[in-house]
Structure 1
Amino acid sequence: MSEEKLNITFEEAIEKLEEIVEKLEDGDVPLEKAIDFYQEGMNLAKVCNDKLVKVEKQMEQIMKENGDFEPFSPQEEEQA
């Protein structure tokens, strides 16, 4: 994967994916170009997935008041 793809933000990758989907849905794309779009879309989808996995791992830990990390576990709100 190119260095440019690794430095793209999640939002930029999603925007590019949406553009690719629009082009492919139009149906006026030559087969060779459609394959190129598909491959680019798959690469962008992988970038998005990798970024989401990274954020998910970061969210699994919350910093405690003393600076240590502990596993994140959402607590249910108490109902009155």
Structure 2
Amino acid sequence: MLFVLVLVGIMSTTEGRSTNTFDFPIPLPICTSVVGVKSGDTCFDIAQKFKLSTKLFNSINPNLDCDKLFVGEWICVEGI
């Protein structure tokens, strides 16, 4: 019985650990071109205008709050 309790304890503490022994940081894209927000612009409009997928647009603008855009705010529209 004690063996089963110890085994369950070990399994529960190791359950959340990563099995990946190589934890390399994932590089973020680097912004190479920006555009200023104009009156009426939305994130969707800007992404479409520059032919950016939603995934790329969000990755090159990681801290952008699309619900709070303001005129003159710089938005990244190209990244490497």
TM-score, with normalisation over the residues of structure 2?
0.26
More contact order relative to length (CA 8 Å, sep ≥ 6): 2
TM-score, with normalisation over the residues of structure 1?
0.26
Question: Who wins on radius of gyration, i.e. which is larger?
Answer: 2
Which structure's residues are more often helix, by fraction?
1
